[in-house]
Amino acid sequence: MFGLFLQIMEGYRKTILESGIPVITEHMTSVESVCLGLWIRTGSRDESASERGLSHFIEHMLFKGTTRRSALDISRDIESVGGSLNAYTGKEYTCVHVKVLQKDFLLAGDILIDMLTDSVFDPLEIDRERMVILQEIKMIEDTPDDYVHDLFNRSFWGDTNSLGFPICGCQETVHSFDRAAIVSFLERYYKADRLLVTAAGKVSHHEVVDLFGSRLACLSRGSGETRRQAIRGGQNGPRVIHRDLEQVHLCVGTNGLHYGDDRRYAAHVLTTLLGGNMSSRLFQEVREKRGLAYSIFSFLNMYEDAGLFGVYAGATRDTITMVVELVMQELREILDGRLGAEELRAAKEFLRGSILLGLESPDGRMSRLAKNEMYFGQDIPMEAALAKLEGVTLDEVVAVAREMFDPGTLCVTLLGPVREDELKCDRWVL
């Protein structure tokens, strides 16, 4: 056994390997599959300005071949057993995950470990993948309802704060990446103190520990170095980016809560009742009653020490000002405490159902294990989380709204066929 201790709670198992890497599993008796995730607690937030997009670039390169497998071998070995292999990069972490039948677990684990510890980063493959990522950036820029979020993050967090960096980077930085830059970043951040292994499904905890304990023992613990910066509030005043489009795409937001804030349950309820589903206030007022938008929703982005609450909408040039004013009106109504018991109940039931439905699959449970460990250092039993959600009161929702909806951090970003001097920005106040 390669672990220092084992924590057991129902189907939940946690072992800390001798290298310091947590291995966490949850056994599910009702499925035949296993979802296995290898998490690196490093993302775009850990990059310098010249490294913007490097975490995402490395995530792509992990699929481009090891000393034992070509890029084709990696995909073919998984797909030949009916499995799926994928990855994604966030602001604070990178995840490579695989889902297979239980009988193919050892193959899946071997491939993940191979990708992490033995990728070759061939310069020819780097150049090929550079072109792929440049196309991905262009695709985002050609998708305004996605691109406006990148622009909004930059406006909200500021040009020099890494939370505002686009995860894919920019053309200038992506063009500059070479093998030396990749290896340097890996040597700083892809260390045992930043790794986490999670698995859910028809899985043996001891089998996961034995496999990863032996194969990851070669990794050094790392120095704990971080580039994460002190957080400052959002930027005042609207930012308008003119582009010839059919719609104006809007993001408006204020400071949110960090991941570990105990008020997060009230914040999720608030986000849901405001714009989290089809029965929410914004959807009903802006789309159903007035027909001003096809898409409108609210969102809550939480990080280890900061957060962002926002609203997105897409509308025509002629109606975008009215949409912004309606959003502000709904925010002011909540600040004034004009909430009803029925909408509180409905929002809590929606969240409860969404959480439980998401945990019917090994994928959802694997991800939940990782995020609980990264942000809380322990498992949070589902019963405890649901009890916290059920206990949220109207007063708590209004209180957290008054905390987050700070006029001093209000930020508005618009992308589309409009100019700032055409807008009635003086009305956009809380």
pLDDT per residue over 117-149, tens digit each?
999 999 999 999 999 999 999 999 999 999 999
CA distances to 130, 198, 216 from 7, rounded to whole Å, are 43, 14, 20
CATH 3.30.830.10 matches 3-215: yes
User: Using CA atoms, how far apart are residues 334 and 349, in angstroms rounded to an integer?
Assistant: 20
Token pair for residue 158? 């500021």
Residue 186: pLDDT band with limits 50, 70, 90: very high
Residues of the chain with CATH 3.30.830.10: 3-215, 238-427
User: Using CA atoms, how far apart are residues 14 and 265, in angstroms rounded to an integer?
Assistant: 26
Residue 217: pLDDT band with limits 50, 70, 90: confident
Q: Which one of 26, 51, 59, 129 is the catalytic residue?
A: 59
Q: How far is Cα of residue 314 from the mean position of the Cα atoms in its chain?
A: 22
Q: Is the pLDDT of residue 220 over 90?
A: no
pLDDT average, residue stretch 373-381: 94
Q: Give the whole-number percent of the chain exceeding pLDDT 70.
A: 94
Q: How many other β-carbons are positioned within 10 Å of the β-carbon of residue 159?
A: 10
Note the pLDDT of residue 157: 92
Token pair for residue 146? 């996605």
Q: Is the pLDDT of residue 253 over 80?
A: yes
User: Using CA atoms, how far apart are residues 238 and 231, in angstroms rounded to an integer?
Assistant: 20
CA distances to 325, 336, 358 from 285, rounded to whole Å, are 12, 18, 28
Note the pLDDT of residue 211: 95
Strand pairing partners for 291?
A: none
Note the pLDDT of residue 398: 98
pLDDT average, residue stretch 109-114: 97
Note the pLDDT of residue 5: 47
pLDDT average, residue stretch 188-203: 96
Given the structure tokens 């490579």, which residue do they identify? 96
Residue 316: pLDDT band with limits 50, 70, 90: very high
User: Using CA atoms, how far apart are residues 185 and 171, in angstroms rounded to an integer?
Assistant: 19
User: Using CA atoms, how far apart are residues 4 and 11, in angstroms rounded to an integer?
Assistant: 19
Q: Secondary structure of the chain in the HEC alphabet?
A: CCEEEEEEECCEEEEEECCCCEEEEEECCCCCEEEEEEEECCCHHHCCHHHCCHHHHHHHHCCCEECCCEHHHHHHHHHCCCCEEEEEECCCCEEEEEEEEHHHHHHHHHHHHHHHHHECCCHHHHHHHHHHHHHHHHHHHCCHHHHHHHHHHHHHHCCCCHHHCCCCCCHHHHHHCCHHHHHHHHHHHCCHHHEEEEEEECCCHHHHHHHHHHHCCCCCCCCCCCCCCCCCCCCCCEEEEECCCCCEEEEEEEECCCCCCCCHHHHHHHHHHHHCCCCCHHHHHHHHHCCCCCCEEEEEEECCCCEEEEEEEEECCCCHHHHHHHHHHHHHHHHCCCCCHHHHHHHHHHHHHHHHHHCCCHHHHHHHHHHHHHHHCCCCCHHHHHHHHHCCCHHHHHHHHHHHCCHHHCEEEEEECCCHHHCCHHHCCC
Taking Cα atoms as reference points, which of 340, 339, 336 lies closest to residue 328? 336
Q: Is the pLDDT of residue 7 over 60?
A: no
Note the pLDDT of residue 423: 83
Q: Is the pLDDT of residue 233 over 60?
A: no
Q: Contact, 168 vs 53, CB < 8 A? A: yes
CATH 3.30.70.2740 matches 238-427: no
Q: Contact, 219 vs 117, CB < 8 A? A: yes
47 catalytic per annotation: no
pLDDT per residue over 320-364, tens digit each?
999 999 999 999 999 999 999 999 999 999 999 999 999 999 999
This prediction has a pTM of 0.94
Q: Is the pLDDT of residue 51 over 50?
A: yes
Q: Contact, 74 vs 409, CB < 8 A? A: no
Residue 229: pLDDT band with limits 50, 70, 90: low
Q: Which amino acid is at 309?
A: F
Q: Give the whole-number percent of the chain exceeding pLDDT 90.
A: 87
Q: How many other β-carbons are positioned within 10 Å of the β-carbon of residue 12?
A: 19
Note the pLDDT of residue 48: 95
Token pair for residue 205? 């905890």
Q: Is the pLDDT of residue 231 over 70?
A: no
